Amino acid sequence: MTLKINALQIIKHLMVGSEGTLGFVSRVTYNSVPDYADKASAFIIFQSVEDAAVATHYLREANCTDAVELFDRPSLRTCENMEYMHHLRGLPETATSLLIECRGPNKEVLMSRIEKTLKTIKDNKILSLNKMEFSFDPAECTAFWDARKALIPMVGAVREAGTSVLLEDVAVPVKNLAKLCHGINEMFKKFEYHDGSAFGHALEGNLHLVFTQGFETKEQVDRYANMMDYLCKMVVELEGSLKAEHGTGRNVAPYVELEWGKKATDIMWELKALFDPEDQLNPGVVLNKNPTVHKENLKPLPVAHGVVDTCMECGFCESACPSGHVTLTPRQRIVATREIARLERSVVPEDASKLKLMQDLYTYNALDTCAADGMCATKCPVNINTGRLVKDVRAKRYDSDSLQYRAASASLAAFGAAMSVVPLGLNFVDLMHRTMGTSMFGSIAGPIGSALGLHWNKYVPMGASALKVPNSVAGAPKVVYLATCVSRSMGPARGDIETESIHEKTLSLLSKAGMDVIIPKDISNSCCGLIYDSRGLPEQGNVQIERLEKQLLAASDNGAIPILTDTSPCLMRMKEHFTHQGLKQALYDPTEYAAKFLLDRLDIVKKEDSVAIHVPCSSKKMKKDAFFEQIARACAKEVTVSPVPCCGMAGDRGLRYPEMSGGGVASAVASPPGEAMVIREPGMKNGGRTWPSEVKGACSEGFSSSRTCEIALSLQTDTHFKSIVYLLDRCSAPKAKTA
Ligand code: SF4
Ligand code: SF4
């Protein structure tokens, strides 16, 4: 019985380290560790790598630190221009630093660990080049750790197009850490990897080497292979391990015998044969008879498009993408773009048919179903906005002779007239909806919508009422109110509590606060151009944004008067594209404007028990989240903030591809995006994922600041979403006069 248990324990441990070559792990339970609120970090610079390594040795023995990260001299240079890191400029060529973190379940424990850490270094007479002290400032500590996290992407961001960022992962006993550092720097010089650097988890003797490498020519591949020979030999001589926290894979498989010797390697092969006699489990990984496998089948990164050529295919962007659950994640869009670029240059005859297939699939999967919201850039370590790539490729589809291009150009001259038809159309659809009821109208609207490429749902709003220009209020503070073309066209949805349009509610609010409201002249023709730009018609979009800038400069006295606009995506486009700095600074969304100019002029009552808010992705990028919460919390006892990064609606794109709005919700709640790299056909559902129950169940109403997003949010939650202006107007009254 004892023997049986031991055998199982042995198998369990073998399985954990086997990288899927002996079996697969179908279920894992993680035991999490507490993330203490009490923590502090120190960035200590030593004269030499030897001093840093000796300090690490003593800190390890003292057992008083929670993390110790080593930065070699090239790594320090990489991050010396980051905020809080300018003191790294001009350090001696031998400088090496340790980023140390101490944590504790309370202040007392934390302080005693910090004291012991500093005493350990001082008692062992190790001198530092800067003041040895811990920072408790969250901003500074975050900056230290951001620098650590940025070391890989920063090398990636400045690399030559067409090269890859490579990351190696080795470990040696801490006593040999300094020798390893010196050896790596010598190696980089010898093989001419001038951008190479080393950093990592010093307490474990684990260093990561980061460098860039092309694999286009035999010389490049040979240089890489020779460097690997050198590195592996050096690590083995330093009694180290060729892999520390990452997998051995195929790259280090040819060196397994060098590290473990023939006897141990033979035993590994025997085990492999016992578990997997037909060599079906992860074949070639860890154990491989081919001594040059690390030089074969190397994946090139062909130059494809300037916006994405620095992509490292790391996948950090995927969690923010609203369309990753529907079609492709940003990373997959980039990989597909690269493959198309490779196929276009290929001289292999059979690649022509592959190219055609890829291009056909690309249209729907990569282009049509991208929200172009740029949420991927918020997570990307090198700031790649795949939406920019997508817009650029969309634009290339329409040359100046195309029907779309000519129609868009023609619409510029009659924009106001064209937009005036939209509320009429929406009112007609609403009349049908009201007359027939949701179910019957839905069954008729479904096929018609499919034929027209615009899919109706019960939250499609009625038309907005006409915008009325308010009387001026002499002597009152002035505000320019830009009701966007969306809010001038789209009113409330059937079933909404309030039946007024957003601009009516906004004007009501401004009136209660006693503001003198200026409506820009010729407002019916104004538009920020987003509707053109997101469709791949940037030239027409530029005409509109330039026109709008002139209108607003005139209305706001060159930005001297604050400008309130009611639609967040339009606001972001204005902030990004206007050229007049003063005008940009004068622009506000409803929440920031209310927080800064209205709250003091109104009496607010918490009339609602529980509401949901969804901060649109554009507002998140403009960092308006706190204003949203502030306004909602002023009006409601409980506020649930939607965890969805982006609703996926993307203007009217979610009406043309209704599966997209469900994908936006799925990105916040479900399994990892791109889970099976499913290539879909247009119109397929997203797997029936639903809105998080905390939002769906807890609130009777939701608030946001983009009318089209609100349609998607309402549909996904079956909760009426509308502008946050409605909530504030409902809960506010003119300030009572004090006696
Ligand atoms: S675009 Fe995505 S995959 Fe590419 S570098 Fe950025 S986060 Fe990584
Ligand atoms: S949908 Fe948004 S997050 Fe996803 S690739 Fe397109 S722009 Fe990036």
Q: What is the pLDDT of residues 497-544, one digit of tens each?
A: 999 999 999 999 999 999 999 999 999 999 999 999 999 999 999 999
Q: CB count, 10 Å around CB of 222?
A: 11
Supply the residue whose CA is at minimum distance from atom 6 of ligand 2: 370
Bridge partners (DSSP) of residue 668 are none
Angstrom distance (rounded) from CA 657 to CA 396: 21
For the chain, domain boundaries: 38-240, 247-297, 316-397, 413-644+691-734
Angstrom distance (rounded) from CA 480 to CA 459: 30
pLDDT at 486: 96
Cα–Cα distance list, 374 to 137, 424, 493, 506, 509 (Å): 31, 33, 28, 28, 32
Cα–Cα distance list, 263 to 228, 252, 266, 270, 277 (Å): 23, 18, 5, 11, 20
Angstrom distance (rounded) from CA 364 to CA 358: 11
In tens, the pLDDT along 292-346 reads: 999 998 887 889 999 999 898 888 899 889 888 889 999 999 999 999 999 999 9
pLDDT at 684: 39
Element (H or E) spanning 479, and its range? Answer: strand 478-482
In tens, the pLDDT along 215-257 reads: 888 999 999 999 999 999 999 999 999 999 888 889 999 999 9
Burial of 599: CB neighbours in 10 Å, binned 0-12, 13-18, 19+: middle
Is residue 605 within 8 A of residue 731, CB to CB? The reply is: yes
Percent of the chain exceeding pLDDT 90 equals 73
Choosing from 334, 365, 376 the residue with most ligand 2 atoms within 8 A of its CB, the one to mutate for a pocket test is: 376
Q: Which ligand is nearest to the CA of 311?
A: 1
Can you read off the two tokens belonging to residue 184?
Answer: 């790596």
Angstrom distance (rounded) from CA 466 to CA 6: 79
Cα–Cα distance list, 566 to 132, 224, 351, 461, 570 (Å): 50, 55, 50, 17, 8
Is residue 232 within 8 A of residue 254, CB to CB? The reply is: no
Residue 698 has pLDDT above 90, yes or no: no
Q: Which atom of ligand 2 is nearest to the CA of 369?
A: 1
The alpha carbon torsion through 401, 404, 406, 407 (nearest 10 deg) reads 160
In tens, the pLDDT along 176-202 reads: 999 999 999 999 999 999 989 999 999
Q: Report which DSSP code applies to 244.
A: S
The alpha carbon torsion through 44, 50, 53, 57 (nearest 10 deg) reads -120
Q: Which ligand is nearest to the CA of 307?
A: 1
pLDDT at 372: 93
Angstrom distance (rounded) from CA 676 to CA 397: 29
One-letter amino acid at 119 equals: K
Distance 553 CA to ligand 2 centre (A): 32
Cα–Cα distance list, 723 to 127, 281, 322, 516, 589 (Å): 59, 54, 21, 22, 11
Element (H or E) spanning 639, and its range? Answer: strand 636-641
Choosing from 331, 335, 370 the residue with most ligand 2 atoms within 8 A of its CB, the one to mutate for a pocket test is: 370
Angstrom distance (rounded) from CA 55 to CA 124: 8
Mean pLDDT for 367-378 is 93
Angstrom distance (rounded) from CA 351 to CA 359: 12
Residue 706 has pLDDT above 50, yes or no: yes
Which pTM does this prediction carry? 0.79
224 versus 162: the higher-pLDDT residue is 224
How wide is the angle at C-alpha 667 spanned by C-alphas 663 and 668, nearest 5°?
A: 130
Mean pLDDT for 676-699 is 44
Angstrom distance (rounded) from CA 18 to CA 436: 63
Residue where the block lists tokens 């909530």: 727
Mean pLDDT for 355-362 is 96
In tens, the pLDDT along 46-93 reads: 999 999 999 999 999 999 999 999 999 999 999 998 888 999 999 999
pLDDT at 445: 87
Radius of gyration of the chain (CA): 30
Helix axes 218-237, 177-190, angle to 10 degrees: 160
Confidence band, pLDDT 50/70/90 cuts, at residue 693: low
Choosing from 373, 533, 534, 618 the residue with most ligand 2 atoms within 8 A of its CB, the one to mutate for a pocket test is: 373
Mean pLDDT for 716-724 is 90
Strands 206-213 vs 197-201: parallel, antiparallel or unpaired: antiparallel
pLDDT at 29: 87
Strand, coil or helix: 690: coil
Residue where the block lists tokens 């590290």: 259
Is residue 135 within 8 A of residue 141, CB to CB? The reply is: yes
How wide is the angle at C-alpha 241 spanned by C-alphas 239 and 246, nearest 5°?
A: 165
pLDDT at 678: 38
Is residue 110 within 8 A of residue 103, CB to CB? The reply is: yes
The residues lining ligand 1, judged by C-beta closer than 6 Å to any ligand atom, are 311-317, 330-331, 334, 376, 379-380, 382, 384
Q: What is the mean pLDDT of the chain?
A: 90
In tens, the pLDDT along 561-619 reads: 999 999 999 999 999 999 999 999 999 999 999 999 999 999 999 999 989 999 999 99
Q: Which atom of ligand 2 is nearest to the CA of 387?
A: 7
What contacts 582, CB < 8 A, 6 or more positions away?
Answer: 558, 559, 560
For ligand 2, is residue 330 a contact (CB within 6 Å)? yes
CA 241 to chain centre: 34
Q: Which ligand is nearest to the CA of 660?
A: 2
Mean pLDDT for 116-128 is 96
Residue where the block lists tokens 């040819």: 254
Residue 685 has pLDDT above 70, yes or no: no
Distance 310 CA to ligand 1 centre (A): 8
pLDDT at 578: 98
Confidence band, pLDDT 50/70/90 cuts, at residue 662: low
For ligand 2, is residue 307 a contact (CB within 6 Å)? no
User: 132-136, 150-154, 251-255 — which is least confidently predicted?
Assistant: 150-154
Burial of 666: CB neighbours in 10 Å, binned 0-12, 13-18, 19+: buried
Residue 150 has pLDDT above 70, yes or no: yes
For ligand 2, is residue 374 a contact (CB within 6 Å)? yes
Residue 675 has pLDDT above 50, yes or no: no
Q: CB count, 10 Å around CB of 187?
A: 18
Mean pLDDT for 365-381 is 92
What contacts 557, CB < 8 A, 6 or more positions away?
Answer: none
Confidence band, pLDDT 50/70/90 cuts, at residue 687: very low
Is residue 322 within 8 A of residue 664, CB to CB? The reply is: yes
Supply the residue whose CA is at minimum distance from atom 7 of ligand 1: 380
Mean pLDDT for 265-291 is 95
Supply the residue whose CA is at minimum distance from atom 8 of ligand 1: 314
Choosing from 334, 375, 378 the residue with most ligand 1 atoms within 8 A of its CB, the one to mutate for a pocket test is: 334
pLDDT at 686: 40
Residue 726 has pLDDT above 70, yes or no: yes
Residue 681 has pLDDT above 90, yes or no: no
Q: Report which DSSP code applies to 490.
A: B
Angstrom distance (rounded) from CA 459 to CA 494: 7
Percent of the chain exceeding pLDDT 70 equals 94
One-letter amino acid at 619 equals: S
| The CATH homologous superfamily of the domain defined by 38-240 | FAD-linked oxidase, cap domain/gating helix (3.40.462.40)
pLDDT at 4: 58
Nearest Cα to Cα of residue 515 among 560, 568, 471: 471
pLDDT at 663: 60
pLDDT at 626: 94
Nearest Cα to Cα of residue 476 among 519, 520, 521, 517: 517
Buried b (16+ CB within 10 A) or exposed e, 393-415: bbbeebeeeeeebeebeebbeeb
pLDDT at 2: 53
Is residue 537 within 8 A of residue 495, CB to CB? The reply is: no
